[in-house]
Structure 1
Amino acid sequence: MAFFNSLLFGIYSQTKQSLQGGVQTSCPQPQIIIPSAAYGGAIISFVLCPSELVKCRMQVQGTDSLVPKSSRYSSPLDCAVKTVKTEGVTGIFRGGFTTLLRESVGNSVFFTVYEYVRYHLHLKLQAESSQHRHLIDAGVGVVTGGLGGVAFWSAVLPLDVAKTIIQTSPDKSSTRNPFRVLNSIYRRAGLKGCYAGLGPTIVRAFPANAAAIVTWELAMKALGIRHG
């Protein structure tokens, strides 16, 4: 996650700067934020998909009592190697399209919420004493990152549910179309089934993304990089 977040924030910042054409503005511009975030999400999906496939398969293998221990993966590397041997190189990228959709849409939502909430909070707090500036900035980072994370997962959790099913299905010939998977879930369990695991995901999303944003902004300050 450290690598993926570094890649995502780096691509987002550079793409945003390129689209701005060197013109710095504090007011959020959705025509710049959304394509920058979607592009960053699309790029990281290519490295995120294989790692998530391994993670998901390692997580669910112990839940199926019908799978003998001899057939279980002994390590993440063992899982990756066996996947490539049995399913080919494309097997390790199973669920890639769904991951790309999740990351592109999700990060567009995340960075839009982050940029707008950050902008309006700073407008309200700009008159505060400079001696409390660091605490105020950290507080803004917590709120913007946390709300952005909650918005991300609220928007794309169904795609994540579909991705997990696609990546962990024992039937390797089953559909890789996330919309067919979600349609099947909806007919069987309704909207609630498409949002399975929402509670734990939201509980994790707020502190995790708050920490990521606060760290990102502190790092930019320490490096003398201006937030555009």
Structure 2
Amino acid sequence: MSADFWAGYISGAAGIIIGNPLDLVKTRLQAGTPAPVIDSTATPSPQGFKNHFDRAGTLVRGATAPILGYGALNAILFVTYNRTLTLLGDSPALPTNLFKVWCAGAAGGLASFVISAPTELIKCRAQVSTTSSITSWSVARDTWRHEGIRGLYYGGGITSVRDAVGYGFSFWSYEWSKRALTSPQDTDTQAAMKVLLCGGMAGVVTWASIFPLDVIKTRVQTQHQNTPVLRHEQSPLVHSNVNTHNNRLSTFQIASQAYKNEGATVFFRGLGICSIRAFVVNAVQWAVYEWMMRMLQAR
């Protein structure tokens, strides 16, 4: 397979391994899932943040699907981006037109939907669960068993829009920051540090541009995990959803309900922790991608 496929795959997996603990907190904040409470008589405090990691296994909760899925997603993303930019008459190695870069990034994001939609659904449902028996594998198995492939793509519409817009800004902001910060006179160390900085900045810009869409997506995909009955999860997670399948709210209804009940600030809940995660994860992903591309193309 091509160098950009493997570079994208490995960089995607590396980013997930590093960013999963912070991603778990972001997902729970977006979905409105409370942190596990150690002392039921205690009042809420800053310790609530720490309580999201109520046990060692929580650090990697929901990571299996992303590690497998986002490696493939990143591979599809970068291959589609490079091919699309070439078709638009620009060079992936040194693009000159930032609008074409945005369009190619959006095309890559849209193509990655085939992986990101089921991966996001499995990840989010596993992450909002507070029961250790619920894993990525059990969510995927039960969803497939009770709802088939359609169930795995529930919330796919909002996911595809989020991905197209987000990855458009991701590639655009990365190339823009590289133009602004890098120089041919940079040493190897300076170039490496600037790649990390540009990648981190691109991650923050990307998530800031799509965060309200991501909040809505998370709530669409996990809406029945937020009911009091399902929080106790005394029956199989997805099986419980079958009984309420006809009562699921649409994307628009979820957004309207969230705004009515919690105000506009709900669409930015978790943005702070997400920005920290985005900077770290995207810095690593871009650095690994650039390094892998140089290594594979040199062979």
Q: Which residue of 101, 106, 112 corresponds with 1:33?
A: 101
Query: 1:158, 1:182 within 8 Å by CA — same for their partners in 2?
Result: no
Q: Please, which of 192, 199, 202 is the counterpart of residue 275 of structure 2?
A: 202
Deviation at 1:87, TM superposition (A): 2.4
- Residue 86 of structure 2 is aligned to residue 17 of structure 1: yes
Are positions 1:60 and 2:131 aligned together?
no
Cα displacement string for residues 143-191 of structure 1 (whole angstroms, at most 9, x for unaligned residues): 11101100111111111111111111224332232x4322322222222
1:148 counterpart (192, 198, 202): 202
- What amino acid is aligned across from residue 5 of structure 1 in structure 2? N
Who is 2:190 aligned against?
136
* 1:42 aligned partner: 110
Identity across aligned pairs (percent)?
A: 29
- Letter in structure 1 aligned against 2:83: Q
Which structure 1 residue ranges, 5 or more long, are not aligned?
Answer: 64-68
Give the drift of 1:24.
7.9
Hey, which bits of structure 1, 4+ residues long, moved more than 3 A? 23-28
Take 1:94 and 1:31, find their aligned partners in 2: how far apart are those partners?
31
| Number of the residue aligned with 1:161 | 215
Pair 1:78–1:140, CA change in 2 (3 A): same
Q: Are 1:3 and 2:58 an aligned pair?
A: no
Alignment length, in residue pairs? 209
Alignment partner, residue 109 of structure 1: 169
Measured in 1, the distance between the counterparts of 2:81 and 2:191 equals 21
TM norm structure 2: 0.64
CA RMSD of aligned residues (A): 2.2
Q: Which amino acid aligns with 1:222?
A: M
Cα deviation, 1:29-81, whole Å, max 9, x if unaligned, reads 13311221111101111111111111111112217xxxxx9xx64x3222112
CA contact (8 A) 1:26 1:119 kept: no
| Cα displacement string for residues 116-146 of structure 1 (whole angstroms, at most 9, x for unaligned residues) | 1111222xx3344xxx2x1122122111110
Q: TM-score, normalised by structure 1?
A: 0.83
Q: Which of structures 1 and 2 has the larger relative contact order (alpha carbons within 8 angstroms, sep 6+)?
A: 2
Alignment-mate amino acid for residue 208 of structure 2: S
* Cα-to-partner distance string for 1:79-103 (whole Å, 9 max, x where unaligned): 1121123223211101101110111
* 1:92 is the counterpart of 2:146: no
